[in-house]
Amino acid sequence: MATVVQKYGGSSVADVQKLRHVAERVVRTRNQGDAVVVVVSAMGDTTDELLAKAKEVSANPDRRELDMLLSAGERISMALLSMAIRELGGDAISLTGSQSGIITNDRHVDARIIEVRPFRVQDALAQGKIVVIAGFQGVSYKKEVTTLGRGGSDTTAVAMAAALDATYCEICSDVDGVYSADPRVVPAARRIGTLSYEETQEMAEAGAKVLNAQAVEFAKDKGIAIYARATAGPLPGADPSSDGTVVRRHPPRMPGTVVGVASERDVILLESEVAPPELLALLDERAVAGKQLHVASGRTTLIVPRDNLHDETRFRDALRESFGARARLIDGLAAVSVVGAGINATYTNVRGGSQALMAAGIPPAAVATSSFRITWMVPRAQADAAVRTLHATFIEATPPLLP
Ligand code: ADP
Ligand code: ASP
Ligand code: MG
């Protein structure tokens, strides 16, 4: 019997009606003869609401306590979904991340899965049960409850699919696949039929929320296909790649092809003249995640996303106490990126993008490149305009990607 993993995001289980629809979709899948594991996110904006409550109580909430709080969101939806499935005659059992064997490191609020021991899940599947797992959470070797960072239910689903050797992992959301840009920002965005693991990972790291970057790593290791689909859409038909987006091993495209544009709005730019080892030691001590580290001529810059930085004031205080004016946090910028393998083989794309932004009245504050990505830092208020400009330049001006 094939095992499939389905993940349903917060918007798909926002209320009881939607939860019932998900339960029906799960039961229909089970009735097709597959063993089904379901990973579920917290209902609607529950995680944001819990975070807001924590902030009311404490400006710098303790990370362990935050994990105890935030993990409750997914426990609510797993139990309710399991009940809804049982109401339809399905034999479901809900399990927390810890009960499912999701073992993480002890970096609270932003933990990484280091091992999956899915014995209870396998036992329940062997008994013919539908297993409903709370996404976004695990347990550390110290037996502490941890959460996996915002958007982490995708990671639970794909890591579980890899551990169970599932046939595929379906990520079901309010959008029917991965688009060339966020369709909420760019109405002309195109759905991408097939993406490679590398392209998807870059898109996710550049800010495309539809699939979490860490999740892709697990799929890539095991070669598991991920299908991004709309919860409201049909079940996979005879040809599972005929709708949505499939992420799998994919032959390279024409070098230089831009597959998508993504943005990360809520970031702070760290700029410092402190010796890098000293500066980074403080970031490690405070468990502050950063990306695109750049050191040159005695100056270090780093982009710090705000998603999992829930104790920002304490971090600001620590920087000030340790380094004074030698380390600054610059707010008000966003990172806007174009993604595609080999897009920097020549300077054509970085020149074209920079010119287009200037012409649109969006002078970039900084540019960084890698073999897969070009990132411009632009004023946050102009981030959406920058995404639309880059999409018009690189995607709308070219024929659609081959599948
Ligand atoms: P879920 O709660 O199901 O996990 P998310 O909000 O995390 O859903 O992700 C889905 C959202 O991601 C969509 O509503 C869409 O606005 C946004 N999004 C951002 N970039 C993209 C993209 N490139 N393709 C599709 N959706 C995207
Ligand atoms: N509920 C968590 C969040 O809002 C995890 C997820 O939705 O994937 O970030
Ligand atoms: Mg998500």
E strand or H helix at 55, and its extent? helix 46-57
- Ligand 1 pocket test: which of 175, 200, 216 has the largest number of ligand atoms within 8 Å of its C-beta? 175
Ligand 1 contact, 173 CB (< 6 A): yes
Residue 135 has, within 13 A of its CA and on its CB side, a CA count of: 32
Beta strands in 209-297 (DSSP E): 225-230, 245-247, 260-264, 267-272, 291-296
Ligand 2: residue whose CA is nearest its atom 9? 150
In 10 A of CB 92, how many CB atoms? 24
What is the full DSSP assignment across 114-174?
A: EEE--HHHHHHHHTTPEEEEESSEEEETTS-EEE--TTTHHHHHHHHHHHTT-SEEEEEES
For residue 296, how far is its CA from the centre of ligand 2 (angstroms)? 36
Residues 6+ apart with CB under 8 A from 41: 7, 8, 9, 10, 12, 13, 47, 73, 74, 77, 135, 136, 153
| 103 phi-psi bin (left φ>0, alpha ψ -120 to 50, beta other) | beta
Q: What is the pLDDT of residue 399?
A: 77
What is the CA(393)–ligand 2 centre distance, in A? 33
Domains of the chain: 3-248 (3.40.1160.10), 260-396 (3.30.2130.10)
| pLDDT value, residue 255 | 80
Query: Is the C-beta atom of 8 inside 6 A of ligand 2?
Result: no
* Sign, Cα dihedral of 385, 243, 248, 95: positive
Q: Which of 314, 311, 308, 315 is nearest to 109 (CA)?
A: 308
Task: For ligand 1, say whether the CB of 395 is within 6 Å of any of its atoms.
Answer: no
Rg value, the chain, Cα: 21
Q: What's the token pair of residue 204?
A: 């996710």
Condensed to tens digits (0 to 9), the pLDDT of residues 73-92 reads: 999 999 999 999 999 999 99
pLDDT given for residue 242 in this prediction = 59
What pLDDT is recorded for position 237?
A: 61
Cα dihedral 316, 322, 325, 329 in deg (nearest 10): -30
- For the chain, residues with pLDDT lower than 70 are 236-242, 402-403
Per-residue model confidence (pLDDT) at position 243: 77
SS3 302: strand
Can you give the pLDDT at residue 262? 98
Q: How far are the Cα atoms of 255, 351, 372, 386 from residue 348, in angstroms, in the given order?
A: 12, 5, 14, 18
Which protein residue has the closest C-alpha to ligand 1 atom 18? 182
Whole-number pLDDT of residue 403? 63
Asked if 234 and 377 touch (Cβ cutoff 8 Å), the reply is no
Nearest CA to ligand 1 atom 15: 182
Whether 198 and 255 have beta carbons less than 8 Å apart is answered as no
- Ligand 3 centroid – CA 363 distance (Å): 31
Q: b vs e for 275-303, b when ≥16 Cβ sit within 10 Å of the residue's Cβ?
A: eeeebbebbeeebbbbebeeeeeeebbbb
